[in-house]
Amino acid sequence: MRDWLLLKCPFNDETDAAWKGPTDPCEERMGSLLNERSPQVISSAFENDLTCQLCHKLFEHPKVLPCLHIMCKACIEALKPSRDGGVFCPLCETPALLPQEDVTKLPTASFISNMIDVTQTLKRAHENNIVCDNCCSKDATAYCTDCALFQCEDCCKSHDVLKVLKEHKVTTIELDRCNFPTKTAPSMCSKHSLGKLELYCYDCESLVCIECAYLDHPKENHSVKPARVIAFSFKEDIKTSMASLAASATQLQGILASTSQRVVALLEQEQIIIQLIKELSDQLMPSLKSERDTVLHRGQNLFDLMKSELQIQARSMELSQVKIRTCSAELFEVPN
């Protein structure tokens, strides 16, 4: 939830000045790709990030499971429900309980949606005759990064007249290049089309618009604060955690280096022991062969002697048997 909030709550000037952390690498990546001005480069760079791993299509209403895997809302709804009313993530098989057994209650991956909007916008910017998103009749000459809309010259003038829109940043579209900042349109409420998700409810752990805060998150039962303030607080917590993780990573790196050295030493000892066994075997083989031949010769002589004695005994028994038969025959021939 914190990651989702941080990705979708851009800081204002005050919080940006207060927070001195490193630039978001994802924003740097997007910014460098935007400078390429090539839709093909951008689409290929973010193809895996913007494609659902279930339907293999561009994300539609991307939702975030508790395991942090992102899928289309329709793809999650198509999953076989578990006994407790939840689902199993098809990518990591982690059980995921659905809030109130409703997929729509899962956090929306707004950053993914914004990335899709940016890539689609850049594709449009490289096409000829970009039509104004307001009047839909004239060619666009400017782009409002806050509204995420192309505007013609007349609509741009009307846009600048309104006081509430004066702080919006409008970029002029050049004929050969388009300078689009990385900032995208603010996240809008799914219940109220004109409501910006500028508040955060601690109890519900969700971003809400002003109308949602008034109707569904009353102060008596819910703690609601500006999302920018909460995002800044979360970033400070993450900054502290990252420092601790960096220290742990350094320690693990030392352990890994020590382990690698031990593995190398073990492999060297293995080769040494194998060589010693081979050398000892080569030294013992001649004497063992000689001893084997001696034992075999003695055994053969012993077996030959025993065989000879047994043959003599057998011959003696045969002679005795012949004598017995002869004596028996002579006794039967003597008259009474």
Cross-strand partners of 62 = 72
pLDDT of residue 195: 80
Give yes or no for residue 37 having a pLDDT over 70.
Answer: no
Give the tokens for residue 94.
Answer: 């982690």
Position 105: which residue type? K
Give yes or no for residue 36 having a pLDDT over 80.
Answer: no
pLDDT band at 17 (very low <50, low <70, confident <90, very high): very low
Q: How far is CA 305 from CA 291, 294, 297, 298, 299, in A?
A: 21, 17, 12, 11, 10
pLDDT tens string 54-85: 998 889 889 989 888 999 999 998 888 877 77
Nearest to 15 by CA among 234, 167, 187: 234
Which comes out higher in pLDDT, residue 38 or 248?
A: 248
Q: How far is CA 323 from CA 209, 318, 326, 332, in A?
A: 128, 9, 5, 15
| CA pair distance 40, 43, nearest whole angstrom | 5
Give yes or no for residue 233 having a pLDDT over 50.
Answer: yes
| Residue located via tokens 């890994």 | 256
User: CB burial class (10 A; 0-12, 13-18, 19+) of residue 184?
Assistant: buried
Give yes or no for residue 109 having a pLDDT over 80.
Answer: yes
231 neighbors 207 (Cβ within 8 angstroms)? no
Which comes out higher in pLDDT, residue 124 or 263?
A: 263
> Average pLDDT in the 40-49 region?
63
Average pLDDT, the chain: 77
pLDDT of residue 127: 60
Q: How far apart are the first and last CA of the chain?
A: 129
Give yes or no for residue 105 having a pLDDT over 50.
Answer: yes
Position 287: which residue type? S
pLDDT of residue 336: 54
Which comes out higher in pLDDT, residue 12 or 187?
A: 187
